[in-house]
Amino acid sequence: MTEENRPKFTTRFGVIAATVGTAVGLGNIWRFPYEVGSHGGGAFLLANILCVVFIGIPVVCSEFLMGRASRRNIFGAMSALAPEGGRWWRFAGLLGVASGTLILSFYAVVAGWTLEYLFQSVSGSLTTEGTHQSHIEFADFTAGWRCLFWTIVLLAINTVVVLRGVQKGIEKVSNWLMPLLFVLLVVMAVNSVLLPGAKAGLEFLFRPDFSHVDASTFLSALGQAFFSLSVGLGTLTVYGSYFPSDTKIVRSASIMAGLDTMVAIVAGVIIFPAVFSFGMEPAAGPQLVFEVLPDIFRQMTGGAVWATMFFLLLFIASLTSTISLSETGVSFCVERWHLSRGKAVACTMGFVTFFGVFCALSFGPMSAMTVFGMTIFDIFDYVTSNIFLPVGGMLVSIFVGWVVDRPTVARQLSPAPRFLCRVVIFLLRYICPLAILAVFLNNILG
C-alpha cells in the first residue's frame, strides 16, 4: 500500500483520542489504583511516573516512529527499517502480532463482564435491595455460559468498528467515547471525594510510605507502566502508521502518557474514598471492581445511577483498548497476505473468537483444563504480560536505538528540539533495554 492511499487519522484530536483510547483500559482502572495503595502510595506513584517518563515515553516514541516511518504494521516495519530486510527482526514483529491476539482473547472476556454489569446496573438488578452476595454472584456468572455470550457480543462490536476502517471506525468511535470517558471520570471523582470519610481513601492512595519501597516496587511500577501504555507488541506501531506526516511524535507520546497516568490516578480517587467511606477492604483486580464496588453501590444513594456510570466508564475504557488490539491483527493480515479489509477482519476475529471461547469458559465449563495449575485464561494473561510484553518492549527499544538508521529516527522525532531527541535515543539505547531486562528477570525468577 502506498503512502498516499494508506488511511490516516484526520485530525490532531483524533490522534490523541485514538492513542489515549488504547492506553486507557482495565490496567488503569482496576490495576493501577491497587498497586499504588499497596506499594506505598505516593512513593509508588513517584516510581511509576519516573518509569513512564524515562522508559515508557521513549518506547512509545519508538513504536510511533516505526509505524510512521514505514507506514506498516510492526512485522512490516521491522522488515522495512532494518538493513537487509531484517530477517530475524521480523520474528520479533510476529511475536508482537501473536501476543496482541492472545491478549485480546482474555481481555475481551473481562471487557464482556463489564457489559453484563452495565446491563444489570441499568436494569437496577445490581443495586436493588435483597439478598445479594456479590462474591457468589460474580463466581456464578463467570462460571456460566452467559459470560461466553458477552465475550462474543464484545468481539462483534469490535468487528463492526474495525470493519468500518481507520477513520470512520476507530477514529470516530474514539472521538465520541474519549470525551465521554473524561466527563464520567470527573463527575464520579467529585462524588467520591465528597463522601463522608473519603480522606482515609485518599491517604491510602497518596500518602508516601517509603518503608514499602524496595526493588520490587520499582519493578512493579515499570510493569504497570508498560501494560498501561500498551507498548511492546506493535499496537502503537499500527496507530503510528496512521499518523499524518505532521503529527509531532514526542509531543503525542507525552500527551498520551500524561493523560493515561492521570486517568489511572483519577480512577483511584473514584474508588478508594468510596471503599473506605463504606468501611470495605481495598482489594485488587476483578474482586475490587465486580465484588467490592457492587456492594458499595447498593448502599449508596442513587446507587443504580453511579453503578451505571462506573460500568459504562469501564466498558468504554476496555472497548477502545480491544479495538486497538483488533486493529493490530487486522493490519497485519491486510499487509502480509494482501487481504481485503473484510477478509482480514474475518480472519483476525475468527482467531480471537476461537481463543476467546476457551478463555471465557476458563472459569466454569473448562476450569479443569489446566497446565501447571493455571487455566487457559491465566496462561494467556501470564505469558503475555510477563514474557511477551517485556521482551517485545525490549526488542523495540533495541531496534530503534541500535538498528534503525539515525537520520530516519531523527527525522521522525523532529521537530522536537535536538537535545530532546538525543535524550530519547540515549534512553532507548542504554536505559530502556537494561531496565526492561531487570523487570523481565524479576517476573520470571521472582
Question: Which positions touch ligand TRP (CB under 6 A)?
Answer: 22-23, 25-28, 103, 227-228, 230, 232-233, 235, 321, 324-325, 389
Q: In the bound complex, what is the minimum distance in angstroms from residue 289's beta carbon to ligand TRP?
A: 13
Q: In the bound complex, what is the minimum distance in angstroms from residue 35's beta carbon to ligand TRP?
A: 12
Q: In the bound complex, what is the minimum distance in angstroms from residue 26's beta carbon to ligand TRP?
A: 4
Q: Which is nearer to ligand TRP, 321 or 362 (CB)?
A: 321
Q: In the bound complex, what is the minimum distance in angstroms from residue 153's beta carbon to ligand TRP?
A: 19
Q: Which is nearer to ligand TRP, 166 or 304 (CB)?
A: 166
Q: In the bound complex, what is the minimum distance in angstroms from residue 267's beta carbon to ligand TRP?
A: 11
Q: In the bound complex, what is the minimum distance in angstroms from residue 396's beta carbon to ligand TRP?
A: 11
Q: Which is nearer to ligand TRP, 23 or 36 (CB)?
A: 23
Q: Which is nearer to ligand TRP, 260 or 335 (CB)?
A: 260
Contacts of 65 by beta carbon, 8 Å cutoff, 6+ apart: 240, 249, 400, 409, 412, 413
Q: Which is nearer to ligand TRP, 9 or 227 (CB)?
A: 227
Q: Which is nearer to ligand TRP, 22 or 362 (CB)?
A: 22
Q: In the bound complex, what is the minimum distance in angstroms from residue 326's beta carbon to ligand TRP?
A: 10
Q: Which is nearer to ligand TRP, 228 or 362 (CB)?
A: 228
Cα torsion 426, 428, 433, 435: sign: positive
Contacts of 438 by beta carbon, 8 Å cutoff, 6+ apart: 219
